[in-house]
Amino acid sequence: RYISIFRPSVKCEAEKNKAQWKTMGPAKVAVPSPQNFLQKHSKEPKLPARKKEQDSKKLPALSVPRRTDRPVMGIQSKNNFINTNAVAAITGLPKKPQPIYVDRRQGDKYLLETSGLVPKYIKKKEYGVTPKYVIQRNEEMKRAQKEYEASILEHLKKKAMKRLSDEERRSLLQGLKKNWEEVYREFQGLSVEIDTIPKKIYKEKLETQMKQLEHDIEVIEKHKVIYIANE
């Protein structure tokens, strides 16, 4: 098994210091000097040394001239500022009152511009202009529609299918609606009480025909372009 090479030295150290710990703490402790007694506030944290009074007496730089400063002499102007101000006041346009609004009966006034009631958005350059992403999306939709129609035409050419004209589509739609009206008239003519099996079967048959006709009418109205296979 493993044996540490420091085992003898550790045993020697333990035996040397064993006698000192037989009592509470080491056997021999240095006695403090009577002159170094515990004083009041000696264990409190000490504050840093105070700066010199000269640094605290420094005043901040003033924006006004000092008493000892002297103005620059000898500068003169030939402008008549009194007449200039009078002409500007006479010919100037009067100031427009600032728009305000009152929302309380006490008469408290607030600025109208910052209230959100002024339609500032109509003054934008982009106001009323179609966004770029909408234009791009419309172009992509048109391109996809053209590609779809081109693929359908190619597919139809391969399978030899025929496209219904607008007149044929309109006549087909009118015929389907007329058939639905006839079936609906027969459905309305049924008796109120259906107590036999033949009556029940006939009613279910009429309902199935009406649902199929409604589905066909909806499909034809939804799709403007219809193709049929050549017989």
Least confident of 53-67, 70-84, 206-220: 53-67
What is the pLDDT, as a whole number, of residue 68? 87
Q: Which residues contact 207 (CB under 8 A, 6 or more apart)?
A: 187
CA distance 44 to 148: 89
* Domain spans in the chain, listed from the N-terminal domain onward: 162-228
Compare 190 and 143 and report the one with higher pLDDT. Answer: 143
Residues 189 and 183: their CA atoms lie apart, in Å, by: 10
Rounded-to-integer distance, Cα 156 and Cα 148, Å: 12
- What was the pLDDT predicted at 192? 79
Are the C-beta atoms of 111 and 98 separated by less than 8 Å? Answer: yes
What confidence score (pLDDT) does residue 158 get? 67
Tell me the mean pLDDT in the region 70-75.
80
CA 137 to each of CA 99, 130, 145, 230: distance values in angstroms, whole numbers, following the listed order: 43, 11, 12, 37
Residue type, 113: E
- The arithmetic mean of pLDDT across residues 198-225, rounded, is 88
Torsion angle, alpha carbons of 27, 28, 32, 38, to 10: -20
